[in-house]
Chains A and B, each alone.
Chain A
């Protein structure tokens, strides 16, 4: 059972992470906003069943499923179509090297991308990622290996082109 205070704390502490997680996959700010709101709506509706200590993984789990549903229903090709701000000090010549990684991430299947993002951005262990996405620890490790391998191969290929 989570209280109003728990819920509001969750909004303050996790919205940014959930938004980033979804936005990295969808690259659509409006859709991401909608899905984040759906996640919190579900959290509020299910507040009596949820352990307050597990709010964050629960939110990621709901977010991942919502993202899959969205991609399936809209059959959208995710596009890199948002403002891609460089760090504040680069005014004169911001060579967007990280655009390469963005493109590579965009090529990954949603599950692999979610694992990679949860690992790199949120710092989750294999076991925790498994709990969020309904996978075993070994499966997470393998999917992560495949994801990183794809990213690595893409960058390598790009480097050779360059």
Chain B
């Protein structure tokens, strides 16, 4: 059956208000209706209810649905939203990566590898046996010097009779001053004969910790630190319960 508006004739308030809110009235009709609205409170209320009948747009997240519907075209890098975030994050973390603690280093000299027969060279070169002095070439480990740059190679004179067996110490980049090798304690520029007293400990005892050991020690230290704080609390030396670390939260 064809729908009609016969139940609401052209001048019925309902149809008039419907056409008003739909914007279907011409200027004269609008003027007339608004004049009526100004004087007729009941009609105004009725209009309010008509205006309520509009559905408001809402937004729904259909991103996944859209993704499932797309037909793939030739592959190209589209710079996905997620990828961009990851990129920014990575960049940020890279730029602000913390400086390793081991940067506090000191110059250390170690003898060249055994394969370079420093002593033999010196002996053959030392034609005058009275001068029982030899020159050995020392290699320098690359270490960040803050104060002063050292030359790439230095020459040190020492007694060939005091044979120091140079052992390469791989992986060591820094050592605390108290374990500096005797060789490292030689004057860096010396022409005079320098006696080097061998120390009871061989150079090769210096050890590095593996990453796992390092982590384990760090964990133990951290645990001890936390335990100290807990003890402080239990002794009543801190005001109250454990707060969240406000640096991070």
Direct contact of A and B (CB under 8 A): yes
- Cβ of A103 within 8 Å of any chain B Cβ, yes or no, is no
Docked complex Cα distance between A117 and B55 (Å): 7
Docked complex Cα distance between A98 and B58 (Å): 11
Q: In the assembled complex, how far is the CB of residue B8 from the closest CB belonging to chain A, in whole angstroms?
A: 7
A19 touches which of B49, B54, B55, B60 (Cβ 8 Å):
B60
Stretch with Cβ within 8 A of A (4 or more), from B68-76, B94-102, B143-151, B182-190:
B68-76
Query: Are A12 and B3 CB-contacts (below 8 A) given A145-B15, A152-B49?
Result: no
Q: In the assembled complex, how far is the CB of residue A11 from the closest CB belonging to chain B, in whole angstroms?
A: 5
B53 touches which of A11, A16, A37, A148 (Cβ 8 Å):
A148
Q: Could you count the A-B residue pairs with CB atoms below 8 Å apart for me: how many are there? A: 85
Docked complex Cα distance between A155 and B54 (Å): 11
A37 touches which of B18, B54, B59, B69 (Cβ 8 Å):
B69
Proximity bits, B14-50, A CB within 8 Å = 1, else 0: 1100100110000000000000000000000000011
Docked complex Cα distance between A152 and B73 (Å): 48
- Cβ of A78 within 8 Å of any chain B Cβ, yes or no, is no
The answer to whether A139 and B71 have CB atoms under 8 Å apart is no
The answer to whether A149 and B18 have CB atoms under 8 Å apart is yes
The answer to whether B18 and A11 have CB atoms under 8 Å apart is no
Docked complex Cα distance between A9 and B58 (Å): 21
Q: In the assembled complex, how far is the CB of residue A90 from the closest CB belonging to chain B, in whole angstroms?
A: 14
Interface size range of chain B in the complex: 20 to 34
The answer to whether B73 and A8 have CB atoms under 8 Å apart is yes
Q: Which of B59-107 contact A (CB under 8 A)?
A: 59-60, 62, 65-66, 68-71, 73
The answer to whether B56 and A16 have CB atoms under 8 Å apart is no
For B73, list chain A residues within 8 Å (CB).
Answer: 4-5, 8
Q: A98-B56, A116-B55 are in contact. List 20 more A-B contacts (CB 8 A).
A: A4-B73, A7-B71, A8-B73, A11-B66, A11-B69, A15-B69, A16-B59, A16-B60, A19-B62, A36-B65, A101-B55, A139-B3, A142-B5, A145-B5, A145-B8, A148-B21, A148-B50, A149-B18, A155-B49, A155-B52
The 10 residue pairs across chains A and B that have the minimum distance between CB atoms: A151-B53, A120-B55, A148-B53, A142-B3, A11-B69, A152-B49, A156-B49, A15-B66, A155-B52, A152-B53
User: Can you list 21 A-B contacts (CB < 8 A)?
Assistant: A8-B71, A8-B73, A11-B69, A15-B62, A15-B65, A15-B66, A19-B65, A20-B57, A20-B58, A20-B59, A20-B60, A36-B62, A40-B69, A101-B52, A101-B55, A142-B3, A142-B5, A149-B14, A153-B49, A155-B52, A159-B49
Binding site for A on B (CB under 8 A): 2-5, 8, 14-15, 18, 21-22, 49-50, 52-60, 62, 65-66, 68-71, 73
